[in-house]
Amino acid sequence: MTELPSPNLRPGEPPARAARRLLLVHAHPDDESINNGATMARYTAEGARVTLVTCTLGELGEVIPPELRHLTGAALGEHRRRELAAAMAELGVDDFRLLGGAGRYGDSGMMGLPDNDDPACFWRADVDEAAASLVEVILEVRPQVLVTYDDDGGYGHPDHIQAHRVAMRAAELAEDAGWRIPKVYWNRVPRSVAEAAFARLREELPGLPFAKSAVVPDVPGVVDDDRVTAEIDGGPAYTAAKAAAMRAHATQVEVAPGERYFALSNELAQPLFPTEYYELVRGEPAGKRETDLFAGTGDAAEVA
């Protein structure tokens, strides 16, 4: 593949050197590790440039450890920013950014709460304005692959829905500005995989530090198997990196020993998936079930 200069390079700057470039757009710190930690670790280790854009600092998240429950609002957001940096170190990712800069968009809280009405929250952001900030990243990085949520945000959280809207709109605007992202994926979990994992969880629950189990509908992005078009197998090394990254988000995630299960603030156990799944929603698939998100993107180029 011929390396092309970035449209917004300053004089004397070199173009991005990595042949493969992956961009992920997430709502809060920890979403990236839970959904895509193994994928990020694998591609970073293989030499790809992995760029993460997080849209809020998750200032309204519920804190798990009692000793940290004094953290709220801006203080929690700053703490979660440090957790994000620690998680990215575990995954080997050194390019991670906050949309529009730290504090530009606030956490919107769960759907239907008064927090949704705060004019500073991400849910209330102008989509085109937020997308313009993401376009700047796209034109700099020139990713061949974009990963984000589906139009329900995986499970209906307003910040996840808005992240989807902003990411998809930015892909459109970036094409108008000169860079077409060849492949766009949404995070998915095949229903059969989720059901089998929860069956194992129910058997193993007595030996876990969690009293109760979540259920399949609690997992974001579960769909019928035929909707899934790609899978990335983390294997032992990248699954371990994913678990370590999730542990770094200590205010939000508790990972059980053995790296097979975890819980959020609701204290309900759920599986930690070593293989991560995707649905291709833009671009041409390279086979019925891809094992490389970059397959078929070797001719990516700027739009004339």
Q: Which candidate, 230, 234, 219, 233, places its Cα nearest to that of 281? A: 230
Query: Any idea how long the chain is?
Result: 304
**Which residues make up each annotated binding site for Zn(2+)?**
28, 31, 160
List 121's β-bridge partners, or say none: 106
Amino acid at 16: A
Question: Max alpha carbon distance in the chain (Å)?
Answer: 61
Cβ neighbours of residue 89 closer than 8 Å, sequence gap 6 or more = 248
Pairing between strand 21-26 and 145-148? parallel
Q: End-to-end distance of the chain based on CA atoms, in angstroms?
A: 17
What is the per-residue burial (b if ≥16 Cβ within 10 Å, else e) of 144-175?
Answer: bbbbbbbeebbbebbbbbbbbbbbbbbbeebe
**Which residues make up each annotated binding site?**
28, 31, 160
Amino acid at 175: E
CA-CA distance, 192 to 271, in Å (whole number)? 13
Angle at 188 between CA 112 and CA 51, to 5 degrees: 90
What secondary structure does DSSP assign to 109-170, as a single string? -STTSGGGG-TTBGGGS-HHHHHHHHHHHHHHH--SEEEE--TTTTT--HHHHHHHHHHHHH
- Dihedral through CA 154, CA 155, CA 157, CA 158, nearest 10? 60
Q: Which candidate, 238, 273, 237, 276, places its Cα nearest to that of 255? A: 273
